[in-house]
Structure 1
Amino acid sequence: MRILLICLSLSLLPVQAKVLWQDFRLTYLYGENYRIGDPTRHVFTIEHAANTSWGDNFFFLDHMRFKDGTRSNYAELQPRFSLGKNTSGNYQFGPVKDVLLAAHIEMSSLATNYLYGVGVDLAVPGFRFVQANVYRRNNDKVANNWQLTLVWAYPFRIAEQQFLLDGFMDWASSSDDQRANLNLTPQLKWLASPSFGMESQLWLGIEYVFWRNKFGIADSPASRSHENNVNLLVKWHF
């Protein structure tokens, strides 16, 4: 059923989508307070975000290196199909700018999870963007459940210096074999490239991970899954 839904969604997309805006970026993170597995990690991330004539898309791949020398990869693909761009209907009301059909694929060597649902783009004063998506999760190894995802970006200036507070929040419901979990991950970044005479954007800052019942695992003395983790961050847009 999930493969049919994905194929149906893809069949609705125009054969040639016009790219209205896109961004490639590389990120390096270092942290020492991860939970579930090695607490110390180097994380290298490649990201691509695009706004197109049919909707938008976001992809990232994490390459993680652990203190014991082992490595792993994790990726997500998040396409959304805009009803406002592709139908004759008017989907603007209140703070809602657009309504979208949302899909989401989580990929690792351990499992592949398929999510599908509905998203909205919101107009919030001062924010570059605010998005909200509600998904039904079709999980590979555990029972299916629901997920709410919020994504935002808030630019601001202090003494002519540019900063950006962006990030996401994932809340996943409980099921027969996992606890409800909350992952709140903001990044606070300073645009350093003007100080170095660089044309491309270079950001320096921190990422803070607040995760309760990480991966749906109940926190206990034997398995600590409540994570409070501050990572050093370097991000280059190219």
Structure 2
Amino acid sequence: MAKSIVNTVPYPFQFNEAMVTKGGKKGQTQDVSITLTNAHGDPSKILAHACSYDGLSSRLVEEAGFPLIFLAGYAVASAYGLPDTGYIALQEVCDKIQETVRQVEVPVMADGDTGYGSPMNVKRTVEAFAEAGAAGIMIEDQTWPKRCGHTKGKSVVSRGEAYARIQAAVDARDEGKDIFILARTDALVHGWDEAMTRAKEFKRIGVDAVFVEALPDRESMKKCVEELAMPTFANSKSTF
């Protein structure tokens, strides 16, 4: 008698539904906000996260024990074999977000760069990221085409345009999109005072956290956190 080739053994692993953020449903965005707030209130705590660029790299980050994944613009660009100079479009990033949230259970934040256009485009970008499943988005004040924050020759838009971008992002969140807003300024190229002026206005507008790009050392990071008095992101470099 021929042996049956039908596989009656169930899969040896579980398919768990990923916890994602979808159009106004409370979920992982709250987790990010609460965790960051707790970390801000305790100097001994820090929410460490690693950058990724697709589903596989994000799964590896999760398995390494990181509580948060950040889809970085430079990393996503590199996955396409491109430099971080504005080549990647909104839909390409949304595709990466969807690819990632299907593979991991920890919250996913994604790099929204400059928002891909005017403040109206920024609002659309925030909405699209939230619908794709991102728990958070970062919007910055560089001119377009933007570039990696640690390269020479970068420039920022006027204060007014920067504030309009961030206001649009906050409006999208407040109108029902469950997403964490991280506002980034690259204005340190114009001095400490300019960077702090912008960061403090971002705080007043109502962002969830602020990121002053390219702080040179731990002392400047500490000073930044003290002046802003809110959850603050920072780069980690081996030279610190």
Query: TM (normalized to structure 1)?
Result: 0.32
Task: Report which of the two has the higher share of helix.
Answer: 2
TM-score normalised by length of structure 2: 0.32
Higher strand share goes to which structure? 1
